[in-house]
Amino acid sequence: MSRKLGAVALALGILVGAMGLKTMIAAHSNGAVVMANGLSPAPPVTGQHPPK
């Protein structure tokens, strides 16, 4: 039981840390899209999220 609670607590801690880090880095974000895997060029930065 304690191990399951530990897993939940650790997952929540990592999630909060990761989202906090992202928010901190993107504090002055203009919504630009750049971060992606691979070798191909990222699509043009339009200042908006990908097309809906």
45 contacts: CB under 8 Å, gap ≥ 6? 32, 33, 34
In this structure, are residues 35 and 50 in contact, taking their beta carbons and an 8 Å threshold? no
Using rule CB under 8 A, residue 27 touches another protein: yes
Q: Element (H or E) spanning 6, and its range? A: helix 2-25
Rule CB under 8 A: choose which of 1, 2, 4, 5 binds another protein: 4
Q: How many residues bind another protein (CB under 8 A)?
A: 39
Site residues (vs another protein, CB under 8 A): 3-4, 6-8, 10-12, 14-15, 17-19, 21-22, 25-30, 32-45, 49-52
